[in-house]
Amino acid sequence: MPSRPIPAAPPTVASLQADIERLHREQARLCAVNERLELALSASGVVGLWDWMLDSNLLHGDVNFARLYGLDPEKTAAGLTMEDYQAFVVVDDLPRLREDIRDTFMRGTDFLVEYRLAIPGEPLRWVECKGKLIDDAHGRPVRFSGTAVDITTRKQADNATRLHAIAARANAERVQLALAAGAIVGTWVWDIKTNQFTVDAGFANAFGLDPALGHQGISLEQVIGTVHPDDKAGLIEAVTQAVKEGGAYMHQYRVRRHDRAYYWVEANGRVELDDDGNPDRFPGVLIDITARRGVEAERDRVTAQLRDLNATLEQRVEERTAKLVETQEALRQSQKMEAVGQLTGGLAHDFNNLLAGISGALQLMQLRALNGQFKDVERYILTAQSGVKRAAALTHRLLAFSRRQTLDPRPADVNRLVADMLELVQRTVGPGIAVNVISAPDLWHTLVDPSQLENALLNLCINARDAMPDGGHITIETGNRWLDEHTAHLHDIPSGPYLSLSVSDSGVGMAPDILDKAFEPFFTTKPVGEGTGLGLSMVYGFARQSGGQARIDSAPGVGTTVCLYLPRHVGDVQAEQESAVTALPAAVEKPRSVLIVDDEPMIRMLVMETIGDLGYTALEAGDSATGLKILQSDVPIDLLVSDVGLPGGLNGRQMADAGRQVRPELKVLFITGYAENAAVGNGHLMPGMQVMTKPFDMQALASRIRALVEPQD
């Protein structure tokens, strides 16, 4: 029979105690190893450890790494982008750093590079980085890890050593060159203890001495006797210092020769010591540097000129800068006038067409009326009304582009708005184009004018349709987006939560030069008569006025995507209540008074006619001063109808607020053609205040007046 394994004996208290002691010893050993590792790292100059996670593109660093870059340790621990760290690298060192990183990724070699860091408020710091790529089980790089070493001290020491070696080599080379060029004019040996100079004939001639004395020996005082008076003190001090300290000696001064002229010489020598360490001999050579000093004098003269030029550099830079600013301002003015010309040209073209239709219809109505022919009058009326509506739509688009249209912002459910618009969009683009909707679940709400957002969505879908003459597909997509500071800066909006609404097509796309002009007013690639060029500019202006942004991406043959970013709104969305006006409200019997304030007599006349048709008493004023006097009088007034832009010192909102000081319950209806939100409170109207934009339907105006004067219970 096969033998059965003998079961292990249960552990005893003694064995458990031994295991615990062994674990304690192992823990102490690991702590000691860790301490030695930290000491080794400190001794080697390692400042910190870094770890670049390739999937998130974030580089994490420890506390020492953060201190090296002058950053908050919490930020480096959480991870920053490579661009965040490279912002501290000296510009001249960036190309080499990036090239070494690229080589490591392409060839898989170990990473080793030196570069300088420019930390604000601190001197330049040298850093040496080492690292390597770490692959996953499939051989794909997932991490790039390594160490950072502060090598500033080492670099400074190397530089000092190198400079010392360069100086010594330069001195030796200078002597060798002087020998080769015949510039050495003499030699000397000074016996320091006896104060006797033994010099050759060249040295004696250089100092204007008798060459015979040079062989017998002359004193230091005799040598110094022919030195230029201005150079004697410096020479004595240099010789005394050389004798005191020993070693190499070099000094430049002027001497007088036999021709009584002074020449520049350079003395190079070395003080030798005896066995007791005392100064003994001082040999050396004498070099004629007159020509060199002439070159140096010329250099000093040029340097002085440069210094003088630099002294006036700031003034000359200011003058050039002022001239450059003047030129740039002229260029901006020219570009501005070009833009104004393009804008007014487009406006003149479209409005002249509309005015021609309106004027022609009115003239034919007048002719038919004079001849007693009323058969076609209704057709001409409809033609004129159509022109007015198209002109109003054009004006609204211009105001949207300039971000001055009157908006009625309300909390909106964009998913529901898109769903409600889907049928209209599909009918508009036609059966040859498929419309797909991708709605984000739990989509945030946004504070926006729903009708203007519907117009923007329809405009984008029409543009997409026109870009696909042979058919294709349109994708409408919503989503929640959180823009960080970097992304928000690129989008030119504040960081934070945004709702996105994008429209993509599979059309012909746009080249870069066309893409740059896509949001410009009256710019269109469509044939003449098939587009105003205001669609995208209106969408852009609406998005900006709503606190968001419009972005466009496109490429030829790929298609186009336009994305609207609208700020998130926290709050509930109320259901819309639709109301239609089909006829003028019936007149009422109860006496009512309405004050109309407008500086345009024609507008006042039409509004007063409408008020009269309602059976109300109409009061009028042509400016804010007159209107305020009526409001502050004892005349009964049930409703104030006022333009926003008024002469007389106050705008419509200011006049209404002043009137409410004496009539707290006064109802107000603002009517405006130049819709400045600031003039009506930036969309923040008080209870009992409403606004209508000119031009408006007179039936709609009558209905609004009736609703304000006699609100329904």
Which CATH code is given to the segment(s) 593-709? 3.40.50.2300
Number of Cβ within a 10 Å radius of residue 467: 20
- At 181 the pLDDT is 43
**Predicted pLDDT at 169:** 62
The per-residue pLDDT for 371 is 75
pLDDT at 412 over 80: yes
Q: Which of 109-113, 403-407, 552-556 has the lowest mean pLDDT?
A: 403-407
Is 360's pLDDT higher than 70? no
Q: Which residues of 119-182 form beta strands (DSSP E)?
A: 125-135, 141-150
Share of the chain above pLDDT 70, in %: 75
- Please provide the CATH number assigned to the domain covering 39-150: 3.30.450.20
How far, in Å, CA of 42 to CA of 23, rounded?
28
How far, in Å, CA of 147 to CA of 45, rounded?
10
Residue-level pLDDT at 582: 41
**Average pLDDT score over the chain:** 78
Contact of 97 with 115, CB cutoff 8 Å: yes
39-150 and 183-296 agree in CATH topology: yes
CATH architecture assignment, domain 407-569: 2-Layer Sandwich (3.30)
In 3D space, the residue among 662, 661, 698, 693 whose CA is nearest the CA of residue 680 turns out to be 693
Spell out the residues 6+ positions from residue 285 whose beta carbon is closer than 8 angstroms to its own. 175, 178, 184, 186, 187, 188, 267, 268, 269
- If you write DSSP's letter for every residue of 606-627 in order, what string do you get? HHHHHHHHTT-EEEEESSHHHH
Distance between CA atoms of residues 517 and 533, nearest Å: 10
Residue 366's alpha-carbon distances to 369, 370, 375, 605, in angstroms, are 5, 6, 13, 20
pLDDT tens for 75-128 read 888 888 888 888 889 888 989 988 998 888 888 888 999 999 888 888 888 999
Q: 183-296: what CATH class?
A: alpha beta
Pairwise pLDDT comparison (609 vs 479), residue with the higher score: 479
What's residue 593's pLDDT?
A: 93
- 518-522 mean pLDDT: 63
Higher pLDDT, 84 or 514: 84
The rounded distance, in Å, linking the Cα atoms of 82 and 53 is 11
Domain limits of the chain?
Answer: 39-150, 183-296, 316-399, 407-569, 593-709
What is the residue-wise DSSP string for 18-31? Answer: HHHHHHHHHHHHHH
CA distance 523 to 113: 51
In the predicted model, is pLDDT for residue 594 greater than 90? yes
The whole-number pLDDT of residue 423 equals 84
- Per-residue pLDDT reduced to its tens digit, 434-468: 999 999 988 999 988 887 788 788 888 888 888 88
- pLDDT exceeds 50 at position 38: no
Q: What are the phi and psi torsion angles at 54 (to 5°)?
A: -75, -25
Closest CA to 111 of 83, 143, 138, 140: 143
- Range in 34-43, 112-121, 340-349, 694-703 the model is least confident about: 34-43
Question: What's the whole-number mean pLDDT along residues 468-474?
Answer: 88
Over residues 244-275, the pLDDT tens digits come to 887 788 889 899 888 888 888 888 888 888 88
Rounded distance between C-alpha atoms, residue 442 and residue 280, angstroms: 97
Task: Give the per-residue pLDDT at 628.
Answer: 92
- Enter the DSSP assignment of 433: E
Is the bond into 695 cis (omega within 30 degrees of 0)? Answer: yes
Residues in CB range of 165: below 8 A, 6 or more apart: none
**Phi first, then psi: what are they for 149, rounded to 5°?**
-120, 130
